[in-house]
Amino acid sequence: MLENIKNVFIAGAGVMGSSMAQLFAKYGFQVAVYDVSEQAVVKSRELTEVNLGAAVETGRMSAQEAQTIRSGIEYTQDPQDFARADYVVEAIIENMEIKKQFWSQISAIVPPAAILTSNTSGLSLTEMAQAVQLPERFCGMHWLNPPHICPLIEVIRAEKTDEQTLETVRAMAQAIHHFPVTLNREVPGFLINRFQFAILREAMSLVEAGVASMEDIDNVFKYGLGLRYACLGPFEIADLGGLDTFYKIASYLFADLSNTGEVHALLSDHYHNNEFGVKSGKGYYDYADGRDKEMIAYRDKMFLKVSDCLYGDLNGAGEGDH
């Protein structure tokens, strides 16, 4: 299915696109990164150098492998280059009108057999597909940040996507050692954000009701649920726990869980005070006096430890399971 795919084009040389480029090049694809901004292209090259340098320094990658990746990525600002594209990942700014303009132009340039995907975080793919010529070859391919470490990819069917396109995108995800999951139709938030925000809603409700502190709720995930969910999904956990027990608990608990449609004050108050979390130095916690950088360093260190342990191959540090 992938035998005809050699040239992968990534549109958008930002946070996501730069990291994706590295990954496709690592698994042998010829990669072209396209952006309208020259400055973005310069920054993307620099970011790739930083990432490759760190990988070599920490022994995650050999200097030769880093060089192979480097030479497998070219940069362009010429949309006509898409005439060589076999596979496109669009990771440009999250704006429907700009994405539609992009797709209207690019889908007329790419060969008819090219597979076309968007990394939108939540814009309607069916609406975006209205701008795509031959929309049956278009679907969502939603990655998690940073794509070269997080192994999940959501593959989302838009109204006109055909089965062969979905199969090719799933095969591509596997070829770059990622795990695809499929959404047979698009829903707001796809899968990841529906779960993430269902948890946040319940967590905020419990804090607002004075049941537990934010710190203790964060600890429930770090030392309990997070460990479980790193290895098992909710259906596997229920099977292990016993469906008779889960049925009895669900019977009295579901009615008590938060189902509010309102955004809690615990989020909107911070938002309206420009307290955006780590990026602004204050959010639920205080990140003054360098604690912002400490938090990011802590996250990256712990995340890589878990990722190395479970999926070492992804980081070039071991064999991993897939």
Kindly tell me which of 146 and 281 has the beta carbon lying closer to ligand NAD. 146
| Residue linked to tokens 């780590």 | 278
Compute the radius of gyration of the chain from its Cα atoms.
Answer: 21
The yes or no reply on residue 140 touching ligand NAD (CB under 6 A) is no
Can you tell me which of 8, 10, 17, 82 binds ligand NAD, judged by CB under 6 A?
A: 17
Per CB under 6 A, which region of 85-93, 131-139, 232-240, 309-317 contacts ligand NAD?
A: 85-93
The yes or no reply on residue 186 touching ligand NAD (CB under 6 A) is no
User: Dihedral, CA atoms, 172, 176, 180, 184, nearest 10 degrees?
Assistant: -20
Can you tell me which of 26, 35, 66, 115 binds ligand NAD, judged by CB under 6 A?
A: 35
Cα 3 to chain centroid distance, Å, stands at: 25
The yes or no reply on residue 98 touching ligand NAD (CB under 6 A) is yes
The yes or no reply on residue 93 touching ligand NAD (CB under 6 A) is yes
The yes or no reply on residue 40 touching ligand NAD (CB under 6 A) is yes
Kindly tell me which of 75 and 143 has the beta carbon lying closer to ligand NAD. 143
The yes or no reply on residue 126 touching ligand NAD (CB under 6 A) is no
- Residue 17 CB: number of other CB atoms within 10 A? 23
Question: Is the separation of the CB atoms in 139 and 169 below 8 Å?
Answer: yes
The DSSP element (H or E) to which 231 belongs, if any, is none
The yes or no reply on residue 92 touching ligand NAD (CB under 6 A) is yes
The yes or no reply on residue 109 touching ligand NAD (CB under 6 A) is no
CA distance to 82, 84, 107, 159, 264, per residue, from 112 (Å): 12, 11, 8, 19, 47
The yes or no reply on residue 120 touching ligand NAD (CB under 6 A) is yes
The yes or no reply on residue 9 touching ligand NAD (CB under 6 A) is no
Kindly tell me which of 55 and 91 has the beta carbon lying closer to ligand NAD. 91
Question: Is the separation of the CB atoms in 26 and 74 below 8 Å?
Answer: no
Say what angle helices 243-253 and 234-241 make with each other, to 10 degrees: 110
The yes or no reply on residue 154 touching ligand NAD (CB under 6 A) is no
Give the C-alpha separation, 237 to 297, whole Å: 31
Contacting residues toward ligand NAD, per CB under 6 A? 11-17, 34-37, 40, 91-94, 98, 102, 119-121, 143, 145
